[in-house]
Amino acid sequence: MARITLEDLERLGEEPAAAGGDGSDSGDDQEGEARLFAHWEAVASTHRVSLPPDMAGPIAQMARHRQAREPVPYVSLSQHGKCEDTAYEERQYPAGKWACVTRGEPTYEQSISLSFMKLMRYICKENSAGCHLGMTVPVLNEIHLTKEGTELEREVLTAYYLPGEFQQNPPVPMDPEIHITERPPLRVITRVFYGMTTAETILREISLLWELLGPTDTVLREAYVVAAYENPSVPRRRNEIWFIRRAQ
């Protein structure tokens, strides 16, 4: 059975009852937060994942701030496709500071879910600045394939880009499993896909992009990135598969 995913967690703010009023009454706010948490607790239970009670606050904060999302900066180098359809795009991402968590749960979905819940707590005040840091997109999930290339390795690194105002002086995480890392520039080939991300869908998207690229030794074959964005609509969640260019 599928687990609750990063995209499910990002949808926490999309429920009509999430706001709990206009924020003018603390009782209404508490009731709204309770309804929001109860709703997603039920969603999580269907995926056999438990949401701990201390996620209520971060869930409510992410819902309130869902409209203000800062894009990770990049430069588009080229686009490839036919007519108006872009089959894939090549981009250059600058060096920057990211908050990273690594998990090796039994499934990909479990790993990114548990990692992102940690990052949500960090974003929502569990940091040395004591404030809501703000959300950036995409959130990256770095994966590796087994030697046979037919399965994902269990260990997944989930990375959140620090907003511009915190790049020079990142707040320190209270959670020791979160590490602030200065990541070097990254050149990637990207392709958009929609829907839920599971090990099966990721392997399919990797195969499809290899078919489009053809034989090449300029990109890594053992490591890939799944980039997760807030979805334009519930049925068609936007994701990207990234192939990483080898350093020259």
Mean pLDDT of the chain: 84
What pTM was estimated for this model as a whole? 0.85
Contacts of 167-174 spanning 24+ positions with Cβ under 8 A? 167/96, 167/97, 170/97, 170/99, 171/127, 171/128, 171/129, 171/131, 171/133, 172/127, 172/128, 173/99, 173/122, 173/126, 173/127, 174/121, 174/122, 174/126, 174/127, 174/128
**Cα 73 versus chain centre, distance:** 16
Q: What is the pLDDT of residues 91-146, one digit of tens each?
A: 999 999 999 999 999 888 888 888 998 999 999 999 999 999 999 999 999 999 99
Domain borders along the chain are 6-64, 69-245
Confidence of residue 28 (pLDDT cuts 50, 70, 90): low
Task: Please name which of 190, 74, 60, 77 lies closest in space to residue 123, comparing C-alpha atoms.
Answer: 60
> What is the mean pLDDT of the segment spanning 44-53?
70
At residue 20, does pLDDT exceed 80? no
Range 69-245: architecture per CATH: Alpha-Beta Barrel (3.20)
